[in-house]
Every structure is written in C-alpha cells, then in structure tokens.
Amino acid sequence: MTLERIPIRVEADDLPMSGNAPAVLREIGELLHRLAEEGVGGAIDLRSLPFLPGDRVWLEERLGCGEVEISLQAGGLSTFSETRFPGVWWVVHRNPQGAVVSEQVEVTRVPDIIVADPNDVRNGLANLNDLISGLS
Amino acid sequence: MNEMQFLTWVRGPGLDIALSLFVLGVLWRLIEIYSLGRKKDLSAPRHKPGASGWHTIARRSVPPEGMFKTSPVSYVGGYVFHIGLAIIIFLFIPHIKLIESLVGVSWPGLPSQVVDLVTVVTLAAMIVLLADRIMKPTKRYLSGFQDWFTWTLTFLPVLTGWLAVQHLLLPYTTMLALHILTAELLLVFIPFTKLFHAFTVFGSRWFNGAVNGHKGVPV
Amino acid sequence: MTMNKNAKLLENLEWQGVSRRTFLKYCATLASLMALPPSAGRAMAEALAQAKRPSVIWLPFQECTGCTESITRSHSPSIEGMIFDMISLDYQETLMAAAGHQAEEALHKAMQDNMGKYVLIIDGSVATGLDGAYSCIAGRTNLEALREAAQGAAAIIALGSCAAYGGIPKAKPNPTGAVAVSDIIKDKPIVNIPGCPPIPVVITGVLAHYLTFGSLPELDKLGRPKAFYGETIHDRCYRRPFYDQGKFAKSFDDEGARKGWCLFELGCKGPVTYNACASVKWNGGASWPVEAGHGCLGCSEPDFWDAGGFYKALSMPADPLKMTAGAALAGAVAGVAITVANRAKKGAAKAAHETTTLADLEK
Ligand code: SF4
Ligand code: SF4
C-alpha cells in the first residue's frame, strides 16, 4: 500500500507554501539556460527540499504538461513527463511496491537512462540473431 | 566533552548556577540599595511645576536641549540598541519559551525573520557605539575597565545567538551552547557591574528627581 | 550464494536478472540521496559495474538488533537489498544459517581469507567493565573480538548510535562501562553511522561509496558521512516555515498539531540533530517522525538519551533548577545582613556625634 492511498485530509484552509518553490523555478530556468547554451543540463532533487504541500502544487502548475510521457519498468515503475518547457522533465522513480523512491526535475534533452546502452544493444543483437538463426 | 554534552550542561547545571547567582545578586543588591535610607529632609518642600521624581524619569529619556547635536551617535545608537535588546530578549519565541518554563508567564512573539533583522541592527548599533567610544577622546578618557567589559558581556550573547540562527562559523549545536553560555555569563555579572542599571535606572532617576524637586529644581 | 566471487558486480547482478536500467535507476537514486550531482550517479554506475564484491564481517555487541532490523526490514526487494547483493556478507549472526562452532569457523575463515581487505561492521557498544565480561560471544568478550577482528579490517563501520557513541548502554550511570568502537580502535579508518536505528539507505550509501571509489566518504568531526549528516533535521524540515512564522503546536492533539505546525515546543531536537530523516525519510520514503507528528529525539547525536528529556523544548532548562530557590534566600539574607550592618554603622556614627553648642563655637 502506498502512502497516497491513505486518505489524509489536510486541514489547512489553503495549502500552505514555504516560498521555496519560486526559487526552485528560477534554478530550473538557470539549468535550462545552460542546456540551451552549453548542452549540459542538470537535476534538482525535489524530495530533499523543504517543501510544503502548496509548493509542489505551485511548481507543478507552473511547469504544466508537455508532449512526451515515458514510462520505464525497471525495478518498479518510473515515469518521465516532459513539462511544457521542452527539456524539462518531471521524473518519478518508484520501487516494485509502488512507493516513490526519488523525485526529480531533470533538465536534459532525453533522460540518460532511457537511451539504450551500447552493451545492451550488442547483447540484444546477439539474442535477436539467435532467434533469427532459429528460424527455419 | 562533545558539543551535545556541552549544550546539555549549559541548559542544565550551567543554567542553574547562572540563574542562582543572578537571583542571589539581584536580591542582595536591591535590598541593600533600597534599605540604605536617608535622613528626613525637614525643610519645607518648594513646589515648582516639573520638579518631581516622575518628571525626571520621563525627562531624562529625551536628550536635553543641544545635547542631541553634540553627540547624536550616543543617543541614536543607545536607543537603537536598548530597544533592539528588549525586542530580542522578550519577543523571540524560544526566549519566551524559556521565560515561560521558568516563571510560567508567556506572551506572543515576533516572526523569527523580524527578530533576525532587529538583531543585525542591534549588533551594528553596538559596534558603532564602541567605535565612537574609542574614537572620541572624551569618551575614551571616561571609559574604565567595566565599560569595555560590560560591552563585551552584552555583545557576545547577541552575536553568538545570531551566528547560531544563521548557521555561521561553527555547527549550530556548538554555537547554541556558546550562546547560552555567554548569556549565562551576562546573567551572572548583571548584579555586580554597571549592568545593574537595568534594575535601578528608574529608581535612581526618581530619587534624584524627588530630591531636586523638594528643593524646587526641575531637572 | 553461488555467485562468482571474482565476477564484476554488474555481471553478478545481470546474472540475477537485474537489468542495467534498474541498476542505473538505483545509482541515480543513491546519488540523489547522497546529495551528489546527477552526473555522479552515472560515474557511480560505471565504477560500481566494475567493482568486485568485498567481504563483509558483521559483529553484534551490546545491542538490541534494532539496527539489523532497520536494514533487513527495509522495503524488499529494495535498493538496500540490492547493495547487499553486491557484497559478500560472510558473517552476520542474525542472518546466517550457521550457528555455534560452525558460525565461529565461518568467522575465522572469512577473516583469514580476506586478511587486510574485509569491511568490518559493528553494531552495539563495547562493554569494558569487569574486563568486558558483561557481553560475551562464544566465551570471548566483545572487547577481545573487536580487537582481533579490527586487525585485519580495511575499514570499520560503526553502525548505530551504540557502536558510534556508546548508545543506550552508555546512558547514566553506564553500568557496563560501555564505550564506542572508536574509543577502542584508533588505528583504522572508522565511519560512524549513528541513529537509533540508522536510516537503512545510509549504510548502503556508505557501502556503495566504498565499492565505487574504494574509499570511505568524507566524514564530519564525529566521523559521520557528510553526505547524510551534513545538515540538521531542522534545516530540511518541511515544518520549518511554521517555525519561522512562530506557529507551534502546544500539545499533540491541538489545532496547531492538526495543521502540521512546528513541534519545537513539544521537545523537537531537530535544530541540533544532524541526520537525513527529513530528506531521505523512513519506510521506503513513506514518512518520517516529524511528518508523523512527533518531534525529533536527536537519536543520531551523542548522549541524546541524557540530553534533558525528549519532550522539553530545546530552549528550556535541561534539568529542574535545584539551587535557585536557595540562592534567592541567600540573596535576601545577604541583603538584609548588609542592611543591618549599614544601619548599625549609621547608628554608631550618630551615637558618636557630639552636639555643638553656641558656647563651643565661641571658645
Ligand atoms: S518540527 Fe522540529 S525540525 Fe521541524 S521545524 Fe520544527 S523544530 Fe525544526
Ligand atoms: S527524526 Fe530524529 S530521532 Fe527520529 S530517527 Fe530521525 S534523527 Fe532519529
């Protein structure tokens, strides 16, 4: 059972905000600028920030949804959702039980982990060749 | 002794010792001073408007004619840092919690960002006053050991408290312990130095005013 | 386990059906937990993939097995579980099947085979009273066992507040003379991973660092890895904005508590506690003590058990004041005594005073 499934009612009238979210948005801006200029982005670990519930919602609303949504099944589900700013990805890694193990904003053209590794490609090729040679 | 033990000591036995010496000293000096007694003035009081203990308490809180121009630093700096100290000591929430746990009364405090700002201003005012005391020949001439000593005693808790909150210089735990320790030193020395004016300032003003008032001299 | 001891790590993992991406995901998570930049996750993955499985010997001393529980009960199969597949845990009393003489044999064999190379994990404090007789395993004191095992160790991990600082066994009046591992062993690199219990991922983080870089991570003054103990709970606490605004819960069930206000007044030791709970969290990231509504006890700091009470605000006196009432009395007595002396002096002066008459003046 994941935490999200426990019905927790937040009693505050409005979701409280710490004021840290705008700073994070600015940092994302910096990273994206670097990606645009030098081709190297970066990542921000969302779970280690002192965020109140309102901060997350605020940030999510600003970043919005883009065109790409990737899901990865590797030791639990991971989702990579491009925001409405190309190059800015909202990344959530889960464990096999479905609990979130890390959550980041990644600024990159394509998240590293998605790209097929040359070794894996080679292994895959070998397997495929086996399969093909097995064809009569 | 590691930093946690240091902190626990200043919060425990250290505080006990400091508060004890403080209470002992304050009671001793207050009783001593207020029981001195003066001979009754048998002359008939000369009444003049503005000549009384209460008038003096109020009037000595504002600079006399012309004095403000002569030493603006002393007046402005003095006011800023005294009011600042009062705000820091009595309106910072952890301090209120301490007072509440000691004597059982509490009141609302200020957000820590506000207290933080006040602290910076207070520290600046104290530094300016110190510089003024060093630079002005008259002030320097009039200053004795106690003046330098009590300035340091007052300055250190404010500085260490601010550094602790800002996480500067030393780990928070150590800085917090140093803050409490320096505040305890201050407590211990209040009754036995010039700092005792915190308790006697209005009493002595009233007394001076009353004596002068009796003679018909507005001060 | 029948894994090839000399195979590279990633090969072993692949052999177990762990894909490269799963491994990369693990490294990325680990890097972010260790506050390393994402590029380090990549570097870590590359180095880890090439690493050999080191031998690990785990000795329990005066402890409650809470630390072992913390690590083995972490959500499995977990990233913590994965790192344990990366090492060769050659001796761990609670987990191994062998017992008695067999276990002892396994221990000595592991020590001989990996002389100078194994990582030694200790949980629990070392009893030194009565020559260590308070805590023995297989007829030998922990003190002896530690000295012997430490000799061949490449590095020592003192797991939990007991091994790191002496812990609960060292609480006043410390009947068994409990001390920390670092009080006994002076000539080996020691990493302290305090916590009661420590966060599982911290130990895996340290092991991963050791596997990746072949060295121990950067440590703070108390021997703790800075990546996890570099900041206080308070620095990373999501209730911090309430602390700054002065909004405090006054009891565990008042309105403030329900609104999630700061727990400082209820005794939270977050401001002086260096640990990663606020960012890494517990139970697979589900929650952590302050999020569950209880203040931090300060469990990763030395002597937290003797630091003046879990429910007392940090700004409050740690002990009840014992001398102040007496001091007030003494002060009053001193004041009165001086008054009496002053009055007596005045009286004496008055008595000694001779009245001058007109006749005297005309003399
Ligand atoms: S709950 Fe504790 S750690 Fe969190 S802000 Fe309050 S005092 Fe700090
Ligand atoms: S919140 Fe504090 S007491 Fe609780 S586990 Fe973390 S460091 Fe230990």
Kindly list the distances between the CA atom of residue B94 and the CA atoms of A18, B91, B182, C247, in Å, as whole numbers in the listed order.
21, 9, 16, 12
Confidence of residue C43 (pLDDT cuts 50, 70, 90): confident
Higher confidence at residue C241 or residue B16? Answer: B16
Asked whether residue C327 carries a pLDDT value surpassing 60, the answer given is yes
pLDDT digits (tens, 9 = 90+) for B60-79: 888 888 888 888 899 999 99
pLDDT score at C1: 40
Confidence of residue C38 (pLDDT cuts 50, 70, 90): low
Asked whether residue A46 carries a pLDDT value surpassing 90, the answer given is no
Contacts of A17 in chain C (CB under 8 A): 241
Report the percent of chain A where pLDDT is more than 70. 88
Name the residue among A11, A49, A100 with its Cβ closest to that of C258: A11
Confidence of residue B213 (pLDDT cuts 50, 70, 90): confident
Q: Model's pTM, two decimal places?
A: 0.76
Asked whether residue B211 carries a pLDDT value surpassing 90, the answer given is no
Contacts of C82 in chain A (CB under 8 A): 75
pLDDT score at C39: 64
Q: Chains with ≥3 Cβ pairs under 8 A against C?
A: A, B
Residue nearest to atom 4 of ligand 2 (CA): C296
pLDDT digits (tens, 9 = 90+) for A54-85: 888 889 889 999 999 999 998 889 999 999 99
Identify the CA nearest to B58 among candidates B218, B177, B208, B205: B205
pLDDT score at A3: 53
pLDDT digits (tens, 9 = 90+) for C6-20: 667 777 777 777 788
Distance CA B204, CA B57 (A): 9
ipTM topping 0.85: no
Q: For the ranges A64-78, B108-122, B173-187, C61-75, which has the lowest average pLDDT?
A: C61-75
**Residue ranges per structural domain of chain B:** 3-35+44-214
Greatest mean pLDDT among A29-43, B34-48, C61-75 lies in: A29-43
pLDDT digits (tens, 9 = 90+) for C114-142: 888 899 999 999 999 888 889 888 888 99
Distance CA B180, CA B193 (A): 20
Asked whether residue C82 carries a pLDDT value surpassing 70, the answer given is no
Q: What is the mean pLDDT of chain C?
A: 84
Asked whether residue A4 carries a pLDDT value surpassing 60, the answer given is no
When divided into structural domains, chain A yields a total of 1
pLDDT digits (tens, 9 = 90+) for B153-167: 999 999 999 999 888
Confidence of residue C306 (pLDDT cuts 50, 70, 90): confident
Name the residue among B7, B12, B167 with its Cβ closest to that of C319: B12
Contacts of C274 in chain B (CB under 8 A): 171
What number is the average pLDDT over the span C315-338?
Answer: 85
pLDDT digits (tens, 9 = 90+) for C246-276: 889 989 989 999 988 999 989 999 999 999 9
The two tokens of residue B97 are: 């919690």
pLDDT score at C168: 92
Fold of B3-35+44-214: Fumarate Reductase Cytochrome B subunit (1.20.950)
User: Does the beta-carbon distance from A101 to C285 stay under 8 Å?
Assistant: yes
User: Does the beta-carbon distance from C28 to A102 stay under 8 Å?
Assistant: yes
SS (H, E, C) chain B: CCHHHHHHHHHHHHHHHHHHHHHHHHHHHHHHHHCCCCCCCCCCCCCCCCCCHHHHHHHCCCCCCCHHHHCHHHHHHHHHHHHHHHHHHHHEHHHHHHHHHHHCCCCCCECHHHHHHHHHHHHHHHHHHHHHHHHCHHHHHHCCHHHHHHHHHHHHHHHHHHHHHHCCCCCHHHHHHHHHHHHHHHHHHHHHCHHHHHHHHHHHHHHHHHHHHHHCCCC
Contact status of C15 with chain A (Cβ, < 8 Å): no
Distance CA B77, CA B204 (A): 23
Confidence of residue C2 (pLDDT cuts 50, 70, 90): very low
Closest chain B CA to residue C333: B28
Ligand 1 nearest atom to the CA of residue C232, by list position: 3
CATH, residue A24: 3.30.1370.140
Identify the CA nearest to B88 among candidates B114, B59, B127: B114
pLDDT score at B141: 93
Q: What is the mean pLDDT of chain B?
A: 90
Asked whether residue C24 carries a pLDDT value surpassing 70, the answer given is yes
Q: What is the extent of the structural domain holding A91?
A: 3-133
Partners of C232 in the beta sheet? C274
Distance CA C338, CA C344 (A): 10
